[in-house]
């Protein structure tokens, strides 16, 4: 199950109360105040992890509470601090304030940590209130309450390359040929119900390079308005450096015009916003082993007019796969070298709620 959004409540631990005590020992007639301080409450910490790839844990466990600090004790003994709670989230998780919608943090690096709720300070014991004129104080402080916050988590996969196109154009078969990913492959629409990530290696050691490819579930007309699965997964394309747009040029799809198919998907990317339609793109004619020659020629002419790289492949027979893989790798290398950073994530009006 792929869960890419969740709402949670976190509560940091309260601080322990300070103690009121007086030292009474044999041969110590003026022991004085000896109340220890309360321990600090535990924090709630969020940490990015590469071992996690969904937010399903938070969907079914929406409340998280850290341990409170222990109360202070006599003999100037400070109470134990409460233990922190560490919440592991996938790399690529966005943390939003649930009430204001403000973006709090973007977890883009493994092992990145952020305190999302800070524990309360422990109260001071009566030892701190003694003065030369007030030698037997009975004042002591209560522990401060820990922070309590509500957040919304949203996962957007981190990949260099995004595969887009209509359902059943061969995206899953392609990613299975160029990487170790093994998505479900079948001859019906929307076989892929969640983004699949695959690592593609090119070249030979020690000069071997790699890039990450995301197989995005198929888009259809009206995807940006919620048709099909588009609204749920279009956001995952935002972080990719380049899009590989697969178009079926066989007659099996039942759609007569591959150029129109290309325009429909491009319009959906444009309508969703966030500059998806402006990303570098490679046009790929899929199922070239059973291609309709007229469709193949028409799509290639369109790509030439738009000055887009064009490749014809067959993920089943392997035709053109290696050439496409190295072309993608070369383009990714060029984009990585550019100084411009990825665009900052924005709150999306199309986000699935």
pLDDT tens digits along 204-262: 766 678 888 888 776 655 544 444 444 456 777 777 889 999 999 998 877 889 999 99
Does pLDDT of 189 surpass 70? no
Q: Does 251 reside within a domain? A: yes
In this prediction, residue 21 has a pLDDT band, given cuts at 50, 70 and 90, of: very high
Full domain range(s) for residue 34: 5-155
pLDDT averaged over every residue in the chain: 84
| Mean pLDDT of the region 115-123 | 97
In a domain, 112, yes or no: yes
The mean per-residue pLDDT over the stretch 4-26 comes to 92
Last residue of a domain, one of 155, 181, 213: 155
For the purposes of burial, counting CB atoms within 10 Å of the CB of 341, is it exposed (0-12), middle (13-18) or buried (19 or more)?
exposed
In a domain, 347, yes or no: no
Checking if the pLDDT of 181 tops 80, the result is no
pTM of model > 0.75:
no
Task: Using the predicted structure, report yes or no on whether residue 284 has a pLDDT greater than 90.
Answer: yes
Does residue 143 sit in the same domain as residue 229? no
Do both 137 and 209 map to the same domain? no
Q: What pLDDT does residue 178 have?
A: 85
Within-domain flag for 127: yes
Number of domains in the chain: 2
Query: Is 301 in the same domain as 167?
Result: yes
pLDDT for position 304: 95
pLDDT value for 346: 47
Measured CA to CA, the distance from residue 179 to residue 213 in angstroms comes to 8
Would you state the structure tokens that stand for residue 250, as one six-digit string?
A: 């066989």
Percent of the chain scoring above 90 in pLDDT: 50
Same domain, 128 and 43: yes
Q: What is the pLDDT of residues 324-352, one digit of tens each?
A: 999 999 999 898 887 644 444 544 433 43
Residue after which a domain boundary falls, among 155, 173, 191: 155
Residue 12 has pLDDT above 70, yes or no: yes
Asked whether residue 122 falls in the same domain as residue 96, the answer is yes
Q: Are residues 27 and 148 in the same domain?
A: yes
Asked if 140 and 205 sit in the same domain, the reply is no
What average pLDDT score do residues 289-299 get? Answer: 92
When pLDDT is averaged across residues 168-179 and rounded to a whole number, the result is 85
Say if residue 56 is in the same domain as residue 174. no
Residues of the chain with pLDDT > 70, as a percent, come to: 85
Give SS3 for 210: strand
**pLDDT score, position 339:** 61
CATH number of the CATH domain containing 115: 2.70.210.12
Structural domain contains residue 342:
no
Among candidate residues 113, 34, 120, 128, the one with its CA nearest the CA of residue 81: 120
Lowest-confidence region among 104-118, 138-152, 265-279? 265-279
Residue 290 inside a domain? The answer is yes
- Length of the chain as a residue count: 353
CA distance 231 to 225: 7
CB atoms within 10 A of CB 279: 17
pLDDT at res. 53: 75
Q: Are residues 113 and 147 in the same domain?
A: yes
Looking at the fold, whether 142 and 278 belong to one and the same domain comes out as no
* CATH number of the domain that residue 281 is part of: 3.40.50.300
- Among 94, 126, 155, the domain-final residue is 155
Q: Would you place residue 117 in the very low, low, confident or very high pLDDT band (cuts 50, 70, 90)?
A: very high
Residue 209: predicted pLDDT: 83
Examine the domain organization and report whether 266 and 290 are in the same domain. Answer: yes
For residue 152, what are the β-bridge partners?
Answer: 7, 96
Q: What are phi and psi of 291, to 5 degrees?
A: -70, 150
Question: Does any domain span residue 344?
Answer: no
Q: Quick one: pLDDT at residue 225?
A: 45
Instruction: State whether 180 and 238 are in the same domain.
Output: yes
- Chain centre to alpha carbon of residue 299: 35
Domain presence at residue 348: no
């Amino acid at each position: 199950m792929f869960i890419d959004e969740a709402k949670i409540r976190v509560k940091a631990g309260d601080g322990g109360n300070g103690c009121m005590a007086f030292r009474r020992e044999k041969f110590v007639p003026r022991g004085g105040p000896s109340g220890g301080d309360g321990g600090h409450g535990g924090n709630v910490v969020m940490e990015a992890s590469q071992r996690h790839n969904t937010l399903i844990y938070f969907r079914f466990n929406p409340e998280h509470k850290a341990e409170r600090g222990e109360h202070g004790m006599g003999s100037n003994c400070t109470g134990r601090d409460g233990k922190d709670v560490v919440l592991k989230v996938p790399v690529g998780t966005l943390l939003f304030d649930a009430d204001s919608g403000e973006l709090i943090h973007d977890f883009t690096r493994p092992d990145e940590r952020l305190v999302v709720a800070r524990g309360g300070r422990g109260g001071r014991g009566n030892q701190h209130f003694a003065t030369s004129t007030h030698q037997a104080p009975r004042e002591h402080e209560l522990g401060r309450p820990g922070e309590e916050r509500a957040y919304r988590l949203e996962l957007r996969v981190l990949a260099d390359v995004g595969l887009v196109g209509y359902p059943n154009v061969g995206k899953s078969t392609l990613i299975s040929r160029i990487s170790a990913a093994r998505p479900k492959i079948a001859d019906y629409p929307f076989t892929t119900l969640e983004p699949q990530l695959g690592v593609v290696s090119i070249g030979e050691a020690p000069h071997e390079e790699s890039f990450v490819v995301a197989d995005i579930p198929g888009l259809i007309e009206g995807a940006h308005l919620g048709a099909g699965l588009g609204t749920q997964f279009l956001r995952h394309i935002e972080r990719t450096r380049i899009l590989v747009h697969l178009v079926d040029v066989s007659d099996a799809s039942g759609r007569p015009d591959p150029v129109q198919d290309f325009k429909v998907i491009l319009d959906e990317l444009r309508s969703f916003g966030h500059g998806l339609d402006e990303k570098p793109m490679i046009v790929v004619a899929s199922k070239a082993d059973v291609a309709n020659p007229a469709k193949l020629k028409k799509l290639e002419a369109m790509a030439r007019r738009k000055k887009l790289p064009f490749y014809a492949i067959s993920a089943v027979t392997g035709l053109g796969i290696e050439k496409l893989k190295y072309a993608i790798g070369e383009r990714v290398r060029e984009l990585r070298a550019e100084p411009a950073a990825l665009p900052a994530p924005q709150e999306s009006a199309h986000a699935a709620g």
